[in-house]
Homo-oligomer: A and B are copies of this chain.
Amino acid sequence: MNLVRAADLLSVYRVVFLDSYGVIKNHQGLIPGIQGTIDFLNGNGIPFRILTNDASRSQIAQVEKFDEMGLKGIEPYHVVTSGMMARLYLKFKIHAGIIAYIGTEQAAEIILQDHGRAVPVHQIDLEMSGEISAIVFLDDEGYDWRSTINHCLNILRRVNIPVIIANTDQIYPVTKNDVSLATGGIAQLIENVIRRNFIKFGKPDSQMFSYAFDELLKVGHQIERSDVLMVGDTLHTDILGGNRFGTRTALVLSGNTTKANAQLLIDSTGVRPDYILENIIL
């Protein structure tokens, strides 16, 4: 396993996509030195985007959170979330009826702002299931799991409506060692039991890569997919997604994947990054 240096990569690629957790920050806060990396990108006119599986915060709220942690130089347009993709999908595809959601009211306000009637799943009367036009999984918080999961299951036994997962992550870190089950894990449980296809947003699916790339084309950058370096800490989301979309991919060892298990995970999954580096710090 040959490690390369961040400096050698950032001076070569014309565009950089960054995962957030494990690349920019971790459970302790910002990864030391990350300000230097953002400053280098901004200073050298290298466009970058932060692609994050998250449906709980808006672009502005994401930037405020970075700012609060001490990281400057990130603008709302730099941030692309799986929640934004879900919002666009719902805006284009769902035009009437109630959207039932699973998650916090705060998340619903962001993702479902284009819709008149958004109601938490647990407030839906089963007899009124026919009025629902979609169910959306937003977050693992804001509801009692037992009653809400069972209620959702029984609604879906009554009506065949689109189910949208705004963040496919199965788990998320809460401390150095511990994790919590995420929205994607809860949604997959119900998907398995009900045996239907839910519509998923988040890496490794290409929507966020495609959105970020198209935005850059729209503002006039003359780029190919192979001009982009995707930097992430997770093989089956960041690296698999980047490989499929056609970017170059760099695995950093500052998050989920460690120096001890990187080669093993690459060999056993067959998901190969183009580069491996300690972190994205210059």
Contacts and interface: CB of A to CB of B under 8 A. Distances in A.
Contacts of A186: 189
A188 B192 contact: yes
Given A217-B217, A246-B89, A126 B206 contact: no
Interface residues of A, number: 64
A270 B197 contact: yes
Nearest to A156: B270
A154 B178 contact: yes
A150 B161 CA distance: 29
B266 A264 contact: no
A171 interface: yes
Interface of A: 88-89, 92-93, 126, 140, 144-146, 149-150, 153-154, 157-158, 160-163, 170-171, 177-181, 185-186, 188-189, 192-200, 205-207, 210, 214, 217, 224-226, 236, 240, 243-246, 248, 264, 266-272, 274
Nearest to A243: B199
Nearest to A272: B162
